[in-house]
Amino acid sequence: MPVTPLTPNYNLAPIQVKELVEGFSLSLNEDGQSGTRRFIDATATTQGTEVALPSLGDAWDDNYPNLLLTNIRIAYINNNDLCPFVYECTYSARPDSTSTFADEEDLPTSISSGVEFISLQTKSGSWTWESDGTKLADTSAIFKTTSVTNISMRRTIKDLKEFATGSIALNGCLNDLPWFGFARGTVMYMGFDAEETRTPHLNSRRWNITLKFSVRQVIAYDNGTEGWNYILREDTGKFDSPIVGTPGTYLYEYTDFAVLNTLSQIDTDYTIVNPLQYIGPVASATW
């Protein structure tokens, strides 16, 4: 008997079904989460509990809220259009859209390190030639280098406006605490880049964020390791910090970068639960 072609229907929730044992799977690993559940028309068997067929975008359950239904495959049980349908539901989630991060060392990171050349004009009497003690002319230019490291870290967020509002206030600020192994004041937050990713049939919007930092390390006049608030003095050739007022106000403010790891985070729960609770009592059926 010829089979009547199926008409696509992306809103299948009104269909009443019962869950099958065959084909059930739930996979949790470092590459993400995935799972498969199979249902059959509720009228096909008297066993099991009748439920509505899940809709695209539905979560696996409360334990895995970001493991979402991304595909429904519909097929006949046999080559007969009088037989019931079987619905194979595929769920998936990616770690970059489901994970939360305790600190910056949990984020995917790229680093580029180099040096910065600084030019300064000599002042009368400040510099002399080592070989004979002759003073450098006032117009002589001296170049010094400092270590500069650029760091990019990536994370995924759910709300761009929330993230932008919270993070823009940190632009140009320095780390108030040691950060990624670098001393206080040596790391400047340079802002972020955002790229939207969207899954149309799930009506899901996420943004992949690249956080940008620049690390500057110099040896200060007191031989300590300092950062962006220290500049090279032309009269001494040493790095010092210009301040204004009492107590002194620095060029750049200090702040805690920890908020950048949690702004607009996508919550999840990796609690491992007994998968048998998901399997309906329908073991098999024959027609």
Give the pLDDT confidence of 8-17 residue by residue, as tens digits. Answer: 444 445 788 9
Same domain as 175, residue 93: no
DSSP state letters, 59-77: EEETTEEEEEEEEEEEEES
Euclidean distance between CA atoms 125 and 133, whole angstroms: 11
The three-state secondary structure class of 42 is helix
- Looking at residue 142, its pLDDT comes to 75
User: The tokens of 260 are what?
Assistant: 């950048």
Burial class (CB in 10 A: 0-12, 13-18, 19+), 239: buried
Same domain as 86, residue 158: no
- Looking at residue 208, its pLDDT comes to 87
Angstrom CA distances, 104 to 82, 153, 179, 193, 261, stand at 58, 8, 8, 17, 7
Same domain as 177, residue 55: no
Average pLDDT (14-24) is: 87
Euclidean distance between CA atoms 119 and 136, whole angstroms: 15
In a domain, 7, yes or no: no
The per-residue pLDDT for range 133-179, each reduced to its tens digit, is: 887 777 667 777 788 899 999 888 888 898 999 999 999 999 999 99
Euclidean distance between CA atoms 168 and 98, whole angstroms: 24
Task: Give Cα 92 distance to the centre of its chain.
Answer: 18
140 or 114, greater pLDDT: 114
Lookup result for tokens 């702004």: 263
Query: pTM for the full model?
Result: 0.60
Same domain as 125, residue 251: yes
pLDDT band for 285, please (50, 70, 90 cuts): very low
Domain region containing 34: 16-98+270-278
Angstrom CA distances, 7 to 16, 29, 154, stand at 17, 36, 42
Euclidean distance between CA atoms 50 and 18, whole angstroms: 5
The three-state secondary structure class of 170 is coil
Angstrom CA distances, 223 to 53, 102, 118, 132, 240, stand at 69, 33, 19, 27, 11
Strand partners, 86: 40, 75
The three-state secondary structure class of 165 is helix
In a domain, 10, yes or no: no
List the Cα angle 9/15/18 in 5-degree steps: 130
Same domain as 256, residue 127: yes
Residue 97 has pLDDT above 50, yes or no: no
Q: Look at the chain and report how many structural domains it folds into.
A: 2
Same domain as 218, residue 131: yes
In a domain, 123, yes or no: yes
In a domain, 75, yes or no: yes
Average pLDDT (223-235) is: 86
Same domain as 130, residue 42: no
- Looking at residue 216, its pLDDT comes to 93
Same domain as 117, residue 40: no
Average pLDDT (89-97) is: 70
Same domain as 109, residue 88: no
Same domain as 186, residue 121: yes
Same domain as 68, residue 117: no
> What is the residue-averaged pLDDT of the chain?
78
In a domain, 254, yes or no: yes
Same domain as 216, residue 114: yes
